[in-house]
Amino acid sequence: MTTLGWLQIAIYFALLLLLTKPLGVYMYRVFTGERTFMHPVIRPLERLTYRLMAVREDEEQDWVGYTVAVLLFSFVGVVATYLQMRIQAGLPLNYGMAPDGKTPFANVPAGPAFNTAVSFLTNTNWQSYSGESTMSYLTQMMQLTFHNFVSAGAGAAVVLALIRGLTRRQTNKLGNFYVDLTRCILYLLLPICIVYALFLVSQGTIQNLKPYVAAATIQGTPQIVPMGPNASQEAIKMLGINGGGFFNANSAHPLTNPSPLTNFIEMLSIFSLPAGLTYMFGRMVGRQRQGWAIFAVFSALFLTGVAVTYPAEAAGNPNLRNVGVDDRVSAGQAGGNMEGKETRFGITHSALFAVITTDASCGAVIAGHDSFTPLGGAVPLFNMMSGEVIFGGVGSGLYGMLVFVIVAVFVAGLMVGRTPEYLGKKIEAFDIKMATLAILVPSFVILLLSAVASVLPAGTSSIFNGGPHGLSEILYAYSSGVANNGSAFAGLGANTDYYNSTIGVAMFLGRFFIIIPVLALAGSLASKKLVPASSGTFPTDGPLFVGLVIGVVVIVGGLTFFPALALGPLVDHLLMNAGQLF
């Protein structure tokens, strides 16, 4: 650890805090239909979009209609993506890896095509394939980049429905999914990504439609340099918190993330929209302190993760020191655990990026998480097991955290012997059932699929490491799938029929078995009356409640996953330090 490293982390958080209010105010105006500075340009396009979709802007849906719209839109999307990958060999803009552009990529096999279609649909962007040697330019642009936009927009739409459920009374209307989705893409994601992509291009990220280029290293070794429309995908991949990379090396690739500056901006963009949504939430419920309370929960959990991961990676591996390896910080080396890390980014940015990308449902990586120390790898694993509720995805992080807030309010009500209330709405049995369902189903899927994979030959045959680290690799894969994160521990060969199918199922359940209960919860809350606050109302905007919510997130995650974590990364940590303990 260094003072400069901690200073970089502090600067990152300070800039994130500065972005929160202006982004929140802009999103509030967009999603409440107020006029913004983008209206003269975007409004005609918005109206045209509604006409093409045959959508009436003023026609709202109840929670069932909203849910059906989400599911139907998703079904059409996953089918279209699967079919295009299966026939991409005969479609345009398929140059393949040959510099002459005359050897196109083959059709994607059924297993990887199913896994990838579900992955990008659910905002997971898990990739069991190498992007630059599998997907054509047309598939990358028309399907994968497209889903980066709409999956992020769908998450924002769901949280808007939940917020309306909290603010409206005695109604069954939650808005219109297609209107919310359209506004998120046209007013928010698309304009920012145009500027963002141009910035990346200016820094060295490639953006072209050329065939791959034959080149040679300094030593004269021939190699093929991949080309393609990368910057446009990288921008929405980070802003939309998707994570699926154009290249197999993801954001560690120098043609994707060329410098420490682009890396810092990419990290900032991951958290920017979830942070802004907390401020928007405060505006929409008419109580700004409520938004800041949720931001405080996000921030406390995030900074705690950084405070564990950064020192763990900076400390390095004691077994290497025992055999004479010098891993101290010096003028000639970064020190610590540099295995699997880019020298361009070092330990500070690698640790910070790992925590950010797993706090959010991003999954983009600049380092090999499998090469992290056991404690350094345990933090990203726990972040995903918590349900990606530490800033989380665009919309999905906030609605996931609001589910935990509902549970925390219920716990507080039990403590004081009163019917729990949140923002003037009584939290009743149905609401708690839906909140509990949204928390327990993902946890059950992670543990069940991990347990099965750890004993079946189909699950253990592609593990590259035995013992507790191998178990951690399996846990990480299913946690990443269910949490719609997409990052990988990289020590697991996941491009098999078994893992393609089971992780595909995990991603689907992790996405929609949270969205459906959340929308049902929104419908229930919208139908309720507002209850005036009284002297017995538990305040939900102060430090006490922030601490209570943090406790619920940590305890629920701890009680659910502690046995699995104990058998995986915790045992791995003890084994690594066995020489120092005994």
DSSP secondary structure, 307-326, as one string: HHHHHHHHH--HHHHHTT--
- What is the pLDDT at residue 580? 55
Question: What secondary structure letter does DSSP report for 567?
Answer: I
Residue 369 is which amino acid? H
Cα–Cα–Cα angle for 125, 210, 139, rounded to 5 degrees: 30
* b/e burial code for range 311-326 (CB count within 10 A of at least 16 → b): bbbbbbbeeeeeeeee
Confidence bin at 579 (pLDDT 50/70/90): low
In this model, does residue 326 exceed pLDDT 50? yes
Domain of residue 259, residue span: 38-215+222-288
In this model, does residue 581 exceed pLDDT 50? no
Q: Give the whole-number percent of the chain exceeding pLDDT 70.
A: 99
> Span 300-308, mean pLDDT?
95
Q: What is the mean pLDDT of the chain?
A: 91
- What is the pLDDT at residue 188? 96
In this model, does residue 127 exceed pLDDT 50? yes
In this model, does residue 582 exceed pLDDT 70? no
In a domain, 247, yes or no: yes
In this model, does residue 94 exceed pLDDT 60? yes
In a domain, 459, yes or no: no
Distance, in Å, from the CA atom of 33 to the CA atom of 479, rounded to the nearest integer, reads: 37
> Span 273-290, mean pLDDT?
95
In a domain, 13, yes or no: no
Q: In this structure, what token pair is assigned to residue 363?
A: 């999954």
In a domain, 553, yes or no: no
> Span 272-298, mean pLDDT?
95
> Span 315-320, mean pLDDT?
81
In a domain, 387, yes or no: no
Q: In this structure, what token pair is assigned to residue 390?
A: 């530490």
By the 8 A CB rule, do 405 and 523 touch?
Answer: no
In this model, does residue 79 exceed pLDDT 60? yes
In a domain, 15, yes or no: no
> Span 65-76, mean pLDDT?
95
Distance, in Å, from the CA atom of 208 to the CA atom of 133, rounded to the nearest integer, reads: 17
Highest mean pLDDT among 26-40, 121-135, 239-253: 26-40
- What is the pLDDT at residue 467? 84
Distance, in Å, from the CA atom of 341 to the CA atom of 260, rounded to the nearest integer, reads: 13
In this model, does residue 529 exceed pLDDT 80? yes
In this model, does residue 243 exceed pLDDT 70? yes
Angle between helices 497-526 and 429-453 (to 10 degrees): 170
For the chain, the domain total comes to 1
In a domain, 161, yes or no: yes
Confidence bin at 171 (pLDDT 50/70/90): very high
In this model, does residue 428 exceed pLDDT 50? yes
List C-alpha distances in Å: 205 to 34, 232, 526.
Answer: 36, 10, 46
pLDDT digit string, tens, across residues 246-258: 888 889 999 999 9
> Span 511-527, mean pLDDT?
95
Angle between helices 346-359 and 288-315 (to 10 degrees): 140
Confidence bin at 331 (pLDDT 50/70/90): low
Confidence bin at 388 (pLDDT 50/70/90): confident
> Span 531-558, mean pLDDT?
86
In a domain, 187, yes or no: yes
- What is the pLDDT at residue 327? 73
- What is the pLDDT at residue 470? 87
> Span 104-115, mean pLDDT?
93
